[in-house]
């Protein structure tokens, strides 16, 4: 992999590719073709995802229309109700939600939604963007099925500037009119196998989908390019462990591609000794991190290896919000590598995630480090990482996957 290859791929994939869309499938075929250039035959595997077509969406506040986008898979309804801004999740604040359309800060996560339902909210409003941005972009969001559990109330997303104005104007009544066609569609994983001396396998993952406003150069075509660099390396190297590369679809919709893979390949997972995940590398600014959902010994191993190699790398034992998590939840030790940039130098999930924040030379530098570490693992006569998820990581997985409520949620 050369710098010019990084530049070419970023240019050729500079389009929105939401999970389940035709553009996502276009990119899956592009990655398959890139594998073919390496002399490797990748396969595209489909899986079902919830989809929706918004037929009608309108938000009015005291009779004034507010630009909005309806939440996919939040049902169809026309509701007018008093407006309430939920500033925190205290018992008193939540008690004020009954029979109101409620605006919240941040994303509509599992516990926020359950709180709204339990306290009688009849609709919801979220917002994104920034009051400091010149644009008035609005992200397309969805009410995920594991969040709603079939109990749907209508929701819309608006721009942060309009959210502020709702409060400044002390809006009393809002109306949501949302109509949509909900159906089951297809998303896709791209899977490539390179055999080694052993049937035991190291799985490499990176997602290639983006959010609705983003070209996803940083998040996460960078990681997808990294997987191509790893595949190129192992296609030319005899290794002890076999290697499998999975470009995951619909990660931005709740890790759906990696979850689907783990479900579809339950027997194959028995031979997986380690998952190495790439999610956001090669940006101009920022620091390299490695997040290990594994025994703590792996953090020390990577710290020592990074010093030996000559790479600054902040290593932690934690759950990373990426495709490593479903593998760890299946008992497979996992590590995610990323170069995390300050938010004022590279942002994600918006129009500013483009090749402009990327450095081809830094991408190659990051990948050389990750390839060197991965080669150590793949050439090991016995993988040094224990195939066990310790109790403290199991608890964090339970919290991340909404099986247990975090103390601060």
Structural domain contains residue 169: yes
Q: Which residues of the chain have pLDDT under 70?
A: none
* pLDDT number for residue 171: 98
**Among residues 77, 187, 70, which one has the least CA distance to residue 140?**
70
Query: 183, 205, 220 — which closes off a domain?
Result: 183
Q: In b/e form, how buried is each residue of 36-56, taking b as 16+ CB within 10 angstroms?
A: eebebebeebebebbbbebee
End residue of a domain, out of 183, 215, 248 = 183
Alpha-helix residue ranges (DSSP H) falling in 273-390:
297-309, 324-329, 360-379
* The pLDDT value given to residue 390: 98
> Is 97 part of a structural domain of the chain?
yes
Contact present, 163 and 4 (Cβ < 8 Å) = no
SS3 5: helix
Domain membership flag for residue 11: yes
Contacts from 109-117 at CB under 8 Å and sequence distance 24+? Answer: 109/147, 109/402, 109/409, 110/146, 110/147, 110/402, 111/402, 111/405, 111/406, 111/409, 112/409, 113/143, 113/147, 113/148, 115/89, 116/86, 116/153, 117/151, 117/153
3 state SS of 88: coil
Q: Which of 162, 183, 204 is the last residue of a domain?
A: 183
CA–CA separation, 58 and 212 (whole Å): 19
Q: Do 24 and 111 sit in the same domain of this protein?
A: no
* Tokens standing for residue 296: 């703590």
In a domain, 407, yes or no: no
Q: Are residues 165 and 237 in the same domain?
A: no
Looking at the structure, tell me whether residues 140 and 228 fall in a common domain: no
Residue 239 to residues 64, 91, 269, 307, Cα–Cα distance (Å): 64, 57, 19, 24
Looking at residue 409, what is its pLDDT? 78
Q: Residue 382: inside a domain, yes or no?
A: yes
pLDDT for res 408: 81
In which element (H, E) is residue 30 found? helix 22-37
Residues 26 and 95 reside in one and the same domain? no
Residue 405 lies in a domain: no
CB burial string 129-153: b at 16+ within 10 A, e below? beeeeeeebbbbbbbbeebbeeebb
Q: pLDDT tens for residues 273-300?
A: 999 999 999 999 999 999 999 999 999 9
Q: Looking at the structure, do residues 42 and 119 belong to the same domain, yes or no?
A: no
Provide the residue range defining the domain that includes 356: 3-50+186-400
Domain count, the chain: 2
Residue 293 shares a structural domain with residue 355: yes
Predicted confidence at residue 30, as pLDDT, reads 98
Q: Same domain, yes or no, for 260 and 396? A: yes
CA 330 to chain centre: 18
The pLDDT of residue 236: 95
Q: What is the pLDDT of residues 41-58, one digit of tens each?
A: 999 999 999 999 999 999
Same domain, 249 and 368: yes
Residues 20 and 84 in one domain: no
Question: Would 22 be classed as within a structural domain?
Answer: yes
Q: Does 123 fall in a domain?
A: yes
State whether 170 and 205 are in the same domain.
no
For residue 103, the domain's CATH number is: 3.50.30.30
Both 384 and 357 in one domain: the answer is yes
Q: Please give the pLDDT value at position 68.
A: 98
Residue 222: the pLDDT is: 98
Question: How far is it, in rounded angstroms, from Cα 317 to Cα 300?
Answer: 10
- Report field, pTM of the whole predicted structure over 0.85: yes
Q: Domain of 11: which CATH number? A: 3.40.630.10
d(CA 293, CA 229): 24
Residues 233 and 100 in one domain: no
């Amino acid at each position: 992999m050369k710098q010019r290859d990084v530049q070419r791929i970023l240019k050729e994939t500079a389009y929105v590719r939401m999970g389940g869309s035709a553009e996502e499938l276009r990119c899956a075929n592009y990655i398959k073709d890139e594998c073919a250039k390496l002399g490797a035959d990748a396969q595209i595997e489909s899986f079902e995802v919830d989809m929706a077509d918004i037929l009608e969406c309108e938000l009015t506040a005291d009779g004034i229309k507010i630009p909005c986008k309806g939440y996919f898979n939040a049902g169809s309804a026309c509701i007018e109700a008093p407006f309430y801004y939920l500033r925190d999740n205290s018992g008193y604040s939540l008690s004020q939600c009954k029979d109101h359309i409620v605006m919240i800060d941040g994303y509509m996560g599992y516990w926020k939604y359950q709180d709204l339902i339990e306290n009688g909210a009849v609709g919801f409003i979220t917002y994104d963007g920034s009051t400091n941005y010149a644009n008035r972009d609005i992200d397309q969001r969805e009410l995920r099925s594991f969040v709603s559990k079939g109990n749907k109330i209508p929701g819309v997303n608006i721009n942060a500037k309009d959210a502020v104005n709702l409060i400044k104007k002390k809006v009393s009544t809002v109306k949501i009119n949302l109509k949509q066609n909900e159906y089951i569609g297809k998303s896709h994983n791209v899977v490539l196998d390179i055999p080694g001396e052993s049937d035991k396998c190291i799985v490499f993952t990176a997602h290639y989908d983006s959010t609705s406003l983003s070209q996803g150069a940083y998040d996460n075509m960078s990681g997808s390019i990294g997987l191509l660099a790893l595949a190129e390396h192992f296609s030319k190297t005899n290794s002890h462990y076999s290697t499998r590369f999975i470009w995951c679809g619909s990660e931005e919709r709740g890790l759906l591609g990696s979850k689907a893979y783990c479900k579809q390949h339950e027997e194959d997972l028995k031979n997986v000794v380690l998952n190495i995940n790439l999610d956001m590398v090669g940006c101009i600014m920022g620091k390299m991190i490695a997040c290990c959902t594994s025994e703590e010994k792996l953090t020390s191993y990577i710290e020592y290896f990074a010093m030996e190699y000559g790479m600054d790398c902040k290593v932690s034992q934690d759950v990373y919000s990426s495709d490593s998590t479903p593998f760890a939840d299946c008992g497979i030790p996992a590590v995610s590598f990323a170069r995390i940039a300050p938010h004022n130098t590279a942002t994600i999930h918006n129009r500013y995630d483009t090749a402009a924040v990327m450095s081809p030379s830094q991408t190659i530098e990051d990948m050389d480090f990750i390839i060197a570490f991965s080669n150590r693992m793949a050439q090991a006569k016995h993988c040094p990482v224990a195939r066990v998820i310790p109790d403290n990581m199991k608890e964090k997985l339970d919290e991340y996957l909404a099986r247990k409520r975090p103390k601060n949620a």
